[in-house]
């Protein structure tokens, strides 16, 4: 029974010893790797400082007229071991004594050297006052055992300088012993740059350089911190435990088995990805130390992974912001949601809002998140430029962050504790990243809007990193929002006439179709007026095309002044215009035609003639009128009917209007009895009378079809 229990107990003990050995080895390697990383950074810094010192020495000699005296002073002060001045042909004209032998390796050269390096050097171009090249100034410092020893003292590890290129590497200088240097050389031959390896004698190596600012091929080495004789000690502990197990079997079952079970469970959880697993430390023996080492390892690993995950998530968030913003360039609301969500995720804010600058000097919140319980105002928040925090940010173009007292919150701002606000435009000049509200700074261009975040998680104030993060993608946000507005403006320009500002023929077809469909659905009428300026070619020929353009623009302005807001005016081309009058019958259309004719003929237009003299031009307009559905069953047919009526008005002597003939009710004797008037029948020579109805529908709007015994449509509402 005792032997059986010993066999059962001995297995976990042996496993624990092996695990301890592997853990200690892993921890030892991890510590050595960290130490070598710190030493590598220190070595780079030291060599870079030496190179900067040499550069300063070379610059001092180059900037002095007395190159020889300056070189002697530089060497005398210990800034460089040697200074050489050469002319443009490479001939040495000044050289200090006791210069190190060649070859000299330039500090900016990071290619792997193929031979020994005798000195580090920095070369500076020498120019005269006019900028012409005179030669070079070179300052050098020998690479000798003293330099390697200084590097070893700075880094706290052994330093070995290599010569040549793989596989013919040799040791130039080393602070290792002779045997240690040979072991380092053997291991470094197969070691890649910036890699870490170990030697059979228990050393860890790291290869550093050459790299920009550090041109020397170095190998850093540290001895292992693993206790000597670890494995014999572990074996002795296992054997002793096995011998004592017979006497204290029941004690070992409680003291040893339980911690191992807990350790095994924690290991399984860590292997499954749960880095929060911890092993209770119940004693100070090997199992307890193992638990402490395991807990420390999981904590450190969890911290590293958390930092990596945070950096990864932040990078993904920023990439998602850019990707979604560019993909949603024409969807402003989606862009604003992406901006706000990305900002909240990047800074850990509880709430935020995106405010855009609107005409009239107001900031209007277009998108909000988490502000239901924060916002102090009612409805959509609007903040005047220059008022409160976000108004000041928009007015000055300067970012702002800080803490706000609840009682001091301005109207239109949430009751918050901390805030940060960044404009959607990079300022041209101004404050630094730690800018606070109330400081003076150079104003930038007026931004498109402001991103404001409130109440960071944990109650901490927003810091400079948050400000820098928001400023990083604020420029991309401004471009995206500006693209949306440019796209909307381009759409508007594609549907308007650039000279008159009226809608163009492309929008006429769409509007006519839409109004006819609406009239057909609700049983209404739509009147179409086709207008043509009389003898406009004579105006162009007499006064010039610039004067003609002035007349067209003024006529368009007068048309807009005589129609309702629901009416639509178009420039069909040249001097021909079209006006759509929704829910208007023929009577109402004739009233509008009379107004347009009077507004045209009664007031001349002042223009500049060919000689630059201001003249007054009187002009008139002829108008053709057609009504849906009285004169045609489709929008294009109505437009054609109005055009035919325009020809009738022209034939009647111009400066008048005509209503299209109802072709379904007029019979032409020459049509063979079809009951339809020919398309180009002689037009009437006088204005057609239009009867008015004696009563209107309840809603006051004209209806399609006859509304009284005479068949006259409803009268246009004069108050419209």
In order of 536, 553, 595, 596, 617, the CA distances from 602 in angstroms are 17, 17, 11, 10, 11
- Of the chain, the end-to-end C-alpha distance in Å amounts to 110
Query: For residue 543, how many other CB atoms are within 10 A of its CB?
Result: 18
With a CB cutoff of 8 Å and minimum separation 6, the contacts of 590 are 625, 657, 659, 690
Annotated active-site residue 575? The verdict is: yes
Q: Is 593 helix (H, G, I), strand (E, B) or coil?
A: helix
**CA-based radius of gyration for the chain:** 45
In order of 5, 15, 252, the CA distances from 2 in angstroms are 5, 20, 12
With a CB cutoff of 8 Å and minimum separation 6, the contacts of 446 are 357, 394, 397, 425
Query: For residue 163, how many other CB atoms are within 10 A of its CB?
Result: 16
Phi-psi sector, 440: left (phi>0), alpha (psi -120 to 50), beta: beta
With a CB cutoff of 8 Å and minimum separation 6, the contacts of 673 are 667
Q: Which of 575, 583, 640, 715 is catalytic?
A: 575
- Strand 104-106 relative to strand 119-127: parallel, antiparallel, unpaired? parallel
How far, in Å, CA of 402 to CA of 711, rounded? 75
How far, in Å, CA of 471 to CA of 483, rounded? 19
How far, in Å, CA of 117 to CA of 10, rounded? 59
How far, in Å, CA of 635 to CA of 620, rounded? 27
Query: For residue 146, how many other CB atoms are within 10 A of its CB?
Result: 10
**C-alpha angle 208-213-217 in degrees, rounded to nearest 5:** 30
Beta bridge partners of 383: 363
Q: Is 275 helix (H, G, I), strand (E, B) or coil?
A: coil
**C-alpha angle 553-557-558 in degrees, rounded to nearest 5:** 120
**C-alpha angle 310-328-400 in degrees, rounded to nearest 5:** 55
How far, in Å, CA of 238 to CA of 15, rounded? 10
State CA 13 to chain mean position distance: 58
Closest of 114, 81, 123, 84 to residue 100, by C-alpha: 81
* Beta strand spans in 574-693 (E): 576-582, 605-608, 614-617, 621-628, 657-659
Indicate which residues carry an active-site annotation. 575
């Amino acid at each position: 029974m005792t032997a059986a229990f010993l066999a059962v107990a001995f297995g976990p003990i042996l496993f624990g010893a092996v695990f301890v050995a592997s853990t200690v080895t892993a921890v030892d390697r991890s510590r050595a790797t960290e130490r070598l990383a710190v030493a590598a950074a220190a070595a780079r810094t030291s060599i870079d400082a030496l190179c900067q010192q040499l550069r300063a020495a070379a610059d001092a000699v180059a900037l002095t007229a007395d190159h020889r005296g300056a070189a002697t002073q530089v060497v005398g002060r210990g800034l460089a071991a040697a200074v050489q001045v050469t002319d443009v042909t490479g001939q040495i004209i000044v050289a200090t004594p006791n210069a190190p032998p060649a070859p000299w390796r330039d500090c900016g050269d990071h290619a792997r050297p193929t031979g020994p390096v005798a000195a580090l050097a920095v070369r500076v171009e020498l120019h005269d006052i006019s900028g012409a090249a005179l030669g070079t100034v070179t300052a050098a410092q020998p690479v000798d055992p003293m330099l390697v020893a200084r590097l070893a003292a700075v880094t706290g590890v052994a330093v070995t300088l290599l010569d040549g290129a793989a596989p013919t590497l040799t040791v130039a200088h080393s602070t290792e012993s002779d045997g240690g240097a040979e072991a380092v050389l053997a291991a470094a031959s197969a070691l890649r740059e910036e890699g870490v390896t170990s030697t059979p004698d228990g050393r860890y190596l790291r290869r550093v350089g050459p790299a920009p600012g550090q041109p020397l091929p170095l190998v850093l080495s540290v001895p292992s911190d693993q206790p000597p004789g670890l494995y014999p000690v572990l074996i002795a502990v296992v054997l002793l435990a096995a011998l004592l197990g017979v006497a204290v079997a029941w004690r070992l079952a409680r003291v040893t088995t339980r911690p191992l079970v807990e350790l095994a469970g924690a290991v399984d959880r860590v292997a499954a990805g749960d880095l929060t697993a911890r092993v209770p430390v119940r004693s100070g023996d090997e199992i307890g130390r193992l638990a402490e080492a395991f807990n420390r390892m999981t904590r450190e690993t969890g911290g590293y992974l958390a930092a990596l995950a945070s950096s990864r998530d932040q990078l993904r968030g920023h990439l998602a912001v850019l990707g979604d913003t560019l993909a949603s360039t024409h969807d402003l609301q989606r862009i604003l949601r992406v901006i706000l969500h990305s900002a909240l995720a990047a800074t850990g804010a509880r709430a935020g809002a995106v405010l855009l600058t609107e005409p009239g000097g107001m900031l209007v919140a277009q998108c909000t998140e988490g502000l239901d319980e924060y916002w102090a105002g009612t409805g959509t928040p609007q903040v005047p430029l220059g008022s409160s925090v976000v108004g000041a940010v928009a007015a000055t173009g300067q970012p702002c962050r800080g803490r706000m007292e609840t009682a001091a919150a301005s109207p239109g701002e949430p009751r918050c504790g901390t805030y940060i606000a960044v404009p959607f435009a990079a300022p041209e000049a101004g404050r630094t990243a730690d800018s606070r509200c109330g400081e003076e700074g150079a104003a930038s261009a007026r931004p498109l809007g402001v991103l404001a975040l409130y109440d960071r998680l944990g109650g901490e104030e927003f810091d400079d990193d948050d400000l820098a993060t928001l400023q990083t993608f604020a420029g991309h946000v401004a471009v995206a929002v500006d693209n949306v507005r440019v796209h909307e403006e381009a759409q508007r320009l594609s549907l308007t006439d650039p000279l008159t500002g009226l809608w163009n023929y492309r929008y006429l077809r769409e509007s006519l179709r839409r109004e006819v469909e609406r009239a057909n659905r609700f049983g209404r009428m739509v009147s179409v007026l086709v207008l043509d300026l009389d003898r406009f070619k004579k105006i162009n020929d007499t006064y010039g095309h610039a004067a003609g353009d002035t007349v067209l623009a003024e006529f368009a302005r007068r048309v807009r002044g005589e129609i309702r807001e629901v009416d639509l005016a178009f420039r069909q081309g040249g001097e021909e215009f079209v006006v759509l009058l929704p829910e208007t019958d023929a009577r109402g259309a004739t009233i509008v035609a009379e107004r347009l004719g009077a507004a045209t003929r009664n007031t001349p237009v002042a223009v500049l003639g060919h000689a630059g003299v201001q003249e007054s031009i009187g002009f008139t307009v002829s108008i053709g009128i057609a009504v849906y559905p009285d004169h045609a069953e489709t929008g294009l047919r109505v437009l054609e009917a109005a055009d035919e009526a325009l020809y009738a008005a022209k034939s009647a002597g111009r400066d008048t209007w005509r209503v299209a003939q109802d072709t379904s009710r007029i019979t032409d004797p020459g049509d063979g009895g079809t009951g339809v008037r020919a398309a180009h029948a002689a037009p009437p020579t006088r204005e057609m009378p239009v009867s008015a109805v004696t009563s209107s529908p309840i809603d006051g709007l004209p209806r399609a079809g006859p509304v009284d015994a005479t068949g006259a449509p409803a009268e246009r509402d004069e108050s419209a």
